[in-house]
Amino acid sequence: MSIVIPLAPTAGVRQVAFTRFELDRIMSLYGRMVAAGLWRDYALELGAKVASFSAFRRSAENPEVRLVKDPALRQRQGEWVLYGEGGVVLKRGHELAGVLAVVERRLLKAVEG
């Protein structure tokens, strides 16, 4: 028989994560971008200081956009940052909807054109 050893969480280590609402909003946008043929893959990274969502055109490339949640910046510039392909900051803000609006506008242009 095998022995099951429970893994105890490390005391004092906190992890930044997306809430259910935030993840629902992000994955809804991802689904629409996939349906439009603009994105094909994504990655989630949950760390001690930040959580990030990266979207890729192809799996082997750098991310086209990277959305970062940094609670340490909540009182200053806003906890949400959207980075472009070259690491350029596209939008910062306190609200997720406002930051994602940059990507949603691009989706509207792709559907119309």
What is residue 4's predicted lDDT score, i.e. its pLDDT? Answer: 80
* Domain containing residue 88: 28-112
**pLDDT tens digit string along 58-86?**
767 788 999 999 888 888 888 899 998 88
Q: Is the pLDDT of residue 18 over 70?
A: yes
In this prediction, residue 113 has a pLDDT band, given cuts at 50, 70 and 90, of low
Note the pLDDT of residue 8: 64
Q: Is residue 5 part of a domain?
A: no
Q: Count structural domains, the chain.
A: 1
Cα atoms in the 13 Å half-sphere on the side-chain side of 95? 4
Residue 66 located in a structural domain: yes
17-24: Cβ within 8 A, 24+ apart: 17/46, 17/51, 18/44, 18/46, 18/51, 18/53, 18/69, 22/69, 22/96
Name, of 1-5, 30-34, 59-63, the range with top average pLDDT. Answer: 30-34
